[in-house]
Amino acid sequence: MFNRNTPYESRSGATDRIKSSVSASPSMAIIFLCVISFLLEVVLLSAAPGLGALYMNAFQFDPGSFLTRPWTLVTYIFLHTGLWHLFFNMLVLYFFGTALERRAGNKQLLAIFFTAGILSAIGYTFLSWPIFNIYPGPMIGASGAIYGVFAALTVLEPNLRVYVYFVPMRLKHALLLFAIFDFLMASSTNLDMIAHTAHLSGLFVGLYMGFRMKKMDERYRMTRYIGRW
């Protein structure tokens, strides 16, 4: 939307504002990197399919080889299978990530995002087979990390109003709905090609980190309150 109180900017001015937004917001920086990575995927796969496949294989997470390629615990987050996969992940990160930044700060957002991303990959590796009898194949996407952000924000702001497929509900109810869906659909991972155990792993990491932040915040508030007496 346009702000009537904001004068028209030149292209260089708009570019400066975009750079400022990316540098000020970790969520926007992550979105920017994911978009750049996706464009690189598309260009490579279109112009040089062999090089594109090499790019994907080098940075996707493979449970069978993550000990020899530990960087993939992070790099898989920035790869996506298609435009809609990228769009929905980045849309959710934009709303929930920036909200968590305002509530907890940039450093906490980064800590939650990458911790959830790494541990969701590890959870996907070690929980899929023994619990759901699923062989975990290669995985890409920021969903597990975003679930961590989603869950942490829910702990801090459980009654925040959101829209899920145009239906208004509280954030805590939305998280419960998605958790139930992923749990029920976990056994169909090989059919729908969605790493539901990674989603659940990221969700539990986010809940844990969210409750820790909430407890620390309450302790800090109590200390300040007692200090006034």
Residue 158 inside a domain? The answer is yes
Residue 3 has pLDDT above 90, yes or no: no
Q: Give me 95's structure tokens.
A: 């709303």
Q: At what angle do helices 83-92 and 143-156 cross, to 10 degrees?
A: 20
Tell me the per-residue pLDDT of 76-119, one tens digit each, with 9 for 90 and over: 999 999 999 999 999 999 999 999 999 999 999 999 999 999 99
Least confident stretch, 20-24, 81-85, 100-104, 210-214: 20-24
Average pLDDT, the chain: 87
- Domain containing residue 39: 26-227
Nearest to 57 by CA among 34, 42, 43, 41: 41
Residue 11 lies in a domain: no
Q: Is residue 50 part of a domain?
A: yes
Q: What is the pLDDT of residue 6?
A: 36
For residue 195, being part of any structural domain is answered with yes
Number of domains in the chain: 1
pLDDT value at 62 more than 90: yes
Tens of pLDDT, residues 130-151: 888 888 899 999 999 999 999 9
Residue with tokens 């990959």: 121
Residue 220 has pLDDT above 70, yes or no: no
Is the residue at 147 inside a domain? Answer: yes
Looking at the domain assignment, is residue 15 inside a domain?
Answer: no
Long-range contacts of 68-75 (CB under 8 A, 24+ apart): 72/121, 73/117, 73/118, 73/121, 73/122, 74/114, 74/117, 74/118
* Domain assignment of residue 1, yes or no: no
Q: What proportion of the chain, given as a percentage, has pLDDT over 90?
A: 68
Is 19 a domain residue? no
Spatial CB neighbours of 12, under 8 Å, sequence gap ≥ 6: none
CATH number of the domain enclosing 152? 1.20.1540.10
Query: Which tokens in the block code for residue 183?
Result: 């749990």
- pTM here is 0.85
